[in-house]
Structure 1
Amino acid sequence: MKLERSTYVKIALIVLLCLGVCGFFGGCRGIVPWGGSLLAPGGLMGCVGWNAMGEIAGYAGDAVGEMAGYAGDAASEVADATLHSGVRGGVASTSEGGHFEIDASEVNAIDLNWLAGSGSVRVVPDSETDGKIVVNETMHGGPQPVMVCSTNDGVLSVNYMEGDGGLSGCSLGTWGSKDVEVLIPESAASLERFVLEAASGEYGIDGADAMLCEKMELDVASGSVSVSQMSVTDLELSLTSGNVAYEGSVAKTLHIDQASGEFHFGPCLSAPETISGSLASGHIVLELPANTALTAQVDKTSGNFTNDFADSAGDPSHSCELSFDIISGNLEVLSAE
């Protein structure tokens, strides 16, 4: 079984965290290739499999290197991104937060990258924003960096701080928290792409039953994301931990790359044409219409797979192909009443 590189990177980070905790409390004297090693067959890591662990080790080295690079840049980023009154990167800022707006006709995609706090993305009537896409930032306690908004070739990028923050932002715990609100007028709701990259916090995305975008990408490290009244062509989810709930329709492809946490999809009016992905751990629930003609291929090392459609032919005009690789965890495909 071959999972995606991103899945192994996420597993590697979780492994490194566990080993660090173990080392803090007990020294982890067993982490040697002999004498009760955690990596020995049957040990704590042996359940994943030697081939998987070999790839994890390689990817972990790359991940740690990237994290070190992010951390090295953190000090200079903070020095440049400290809050001040005025206009910075197109954002009008005060001690209470920032404000940015742009004519919706200039934007065909939105990338939202937020480290902590909470976020709200809503499709609203044009009259509420005068036909503009509006981004509001609200700050709570302590000195904090100013968000940065920029456009390039029609892509609106909204970043927690200058330099995108990256993983280094998670270590700067002396800051307070920041919330972000993105308002998208109905006339601009047919975007090519909408991306949310969230390190932690709580996020709500309300599509108001509009076709928000062709493709939605959710890259969630932790926290909680709730998507409601949504309609997209393709949905791609990368989940390290936390929980994600999606209620709405996906017309063609749903792809899930999950290291841990929980993902709930549905109920929906019609199933996607294809559902694919990988599950290292955690829980996935897919609620599909009862008339779905589902064909499933699941490669499972451990864990559980539940399929309510195993003995049902369904309606051939509502076909869905499911293909999944599971190391552990639970995958449930349920028939919505």
Structure 2
Amino acid sequence: MTRLTRSSYVKIALIVLLALLLFAVAGVGSMRGCSQGIYFGGGTEMGNASVDANGVKNLSVSWAAGSVDISVVDDGAGDVIELVETAPTGLTKAQQMRWSVSGGTLKVDYGSWWSCFALGQKRLEVRIPERYAKSLGTVTVDGASGYYRVAGIGCDTLRFKLASGEIDADGLAAASLDVDVASGQVRAEGSFSERVSTKTASGQLDVVCQGVAPRQVDSDLASGQVSVALPADTGFTAKVSKASGSFSSAFETMQQGGSYVHGDGSTAIKVHLASGGFRVEKA
């Protein structure tokens, strides 16, 4: 049997390392630290755009690093949603964001994995005329890291998903608010009439409910801190299950078994704590 020489072992090691590198590169597109999913389907476009707002009911933004600003502009801007992308060093064609409109959903993606490594951070501005921004269906913001600002949006369902970084959102109006935070900080302020749902691995999450209280609040904490502020005249029943952590309330409550009741008890609050803390605040 022929023995491998030292140079053969070196060659084999280099081949293995190259294979691992190619595997990593192929998998980068699915990593939350860079690309959030690239749209290769028909109709995908690249770079800055003015999108016909009449064909858009839902908005989905996936971003890797830098910042996103979703704002409402005066109707005088016309019937278009503006997508404006900038970077500190300018952008080549290959480094530009991807976007598409399909089935009434405008999808905006950070772009290729190479853009994430080459640029690190890009800024996206989404400008929506007021008459369209107040009556959207589902709005989703999925962030890997960076700073995300959302203001003045009205929709049926609003979803925030954050790996790390910060989301700052106000002037919102949605039937349902869903927030999923791995780490970082989120503050959401507005009217949420039906449901507020939060899932937190760590970090800080603050929801301020204005005007009316949601019918239901669900919160699942692995760690970190969550507060939900309710209008002062809200009655609620909070059912709390915990392995560790704490529940507290700015409202006076009566404890009934594992539940805390205030007023007429109409808003149903369900909290599961592995650790960390949940607090009911007054808006």
TM-score, structure 2 as length reference: 0.78
1:147 alignment partner in structure 2: 97
Helix, strand or coil at the partner of 2:241: strand
Report how many residues are paired.
240
| Alignment match, 2:6 | none
Give 1:281's match in structure 2, choosing from 213, 217, 223: 223
* Match 1:254 to one of 175, 179, 196: 196
Residue 103 of structure 1: how far off its partner (Å): 1.2
Q: In the alignment, residue 188 of structure 1 is paired with which amino acid?
A: Y
Higher normalized helix content (fraction of residues): 1
Counterpart code for 1:219: K
Give the secondary structure class of the aligned counterpart of 2:119.
Answer: coil
> Does residue 270 of structure 2 align to residue 328 of structure 1?
no
Contact 2:180 2:198 in 1 (8 A): yes
- Stretches of 4+ aligned residues off by more than 4 angstroms: 68-71
Which structure 2 residue ranges, 5 or more long, are not aligned? 1-21, 35-42, 255-260
Residue number in structure 2 paired with 1:201 = 146
User: In the TM superposition, what is the alpha-carbon distance from 1:89 to its structure 2 partner?
Assistant: 4.0
Cα pair 2:65 2:121 within 8 Å, conserved: yes
SS in 2 for 1:292: coil
**Residue 271 of structure 1, aligned match among 209, 213, 219:** 213
Larger Rg: 2
Offset, 1:295: 0.3
Equivalent-residue separation in structure 1 for 2:84 and 2:158 (angstroms)? 21
Q: 2:137 aligns with which of 158, 173, 192?
A: 192
Shift of 1:102: 1.3
Alpha carbons of 1:156 and 1:69: their partners in 2 closer, same or farther (altered >3 Å)?
farther
Task: Report if the CA contact (8 A) 2:61-2:142 is conserved.
Answer: yes
In structure 2, distance between residues paired with 1:301 and 1:315: 28
Cα distance in structure 2, aligned partners of 1:125 and 1:142: 28
Partner of 1:134: 82
Question: Cα distance 1:250–1:138, how it changes in 2: closer, same or farther (>3 A)?
Answer: same
**Alpha-carbon distance in 1 for matches of 2:24, 2:160:** 21
In structure 2, the CA distance between the partners of 1:90 and 1:294, relative to structure 1 (3 Å rule), is: same
Give SS of 2:76's match: helix
Q: Contact 1:123/1:186 (CA < 8 Å) preserved in 2?
A: yes
Cα distance 1:99–1:143, how it changes in 2: closer, same or farther (>3 A)? closer
**Post-superposition offset of 1:141:** 2.7
Pair 1:183-2:130 in alignment: no
Distance apart, 1:269 and its partner CA: 1.8
Amino acid at match of 2:101: T
Which runs of 5 or more residues in structure 1 are unaligned? 1-67, 79-87, 92-97
Structure 1 segment 230-241 matched on structure 2, within 5 A: 230-241=172-183
The 2-side partners of 1:279 and 1:73 are apart by 29
Distance 1:132 1:263 in 2: 33
Confirm or deny: 8 A CA contact 1:275 1:320 kept in the other structure: yes
Deviation at 1:314, TM superposition (A): 2.7
Task: Indicate whether 1:72 and 2:20 are aligned.
Answer: no
Q: Relative to 1, partners in 2 of residues 1:120 and 1:70: Cα closer, same or farther, differing over 3 Å?
A: farther
Give, as a single letter, the amino acid of the residue that structure 2 aligns with 1:105.
N
Q: Distance in 1 between matches of 2:24 and 2:74?
A: 40
Quick one: which amino acid aligns to residue 84 of structure 2? Answer: N
Match of 2:39 in 1: none
Please give the alpha-carbon distance, in whole angstroms, between the structure 2 residues aligned to 1:231 and 1:323. Answer: 22
The two structures have a TM-score, normalised by structure 1, of 0.66
Alpha-carbon deviation of 1:183? Answer: 0.7
Partner amino acid for 2:88? H
Q: Is structure 2 residue 57 aligned with structure 1 residue 108?
A: yes
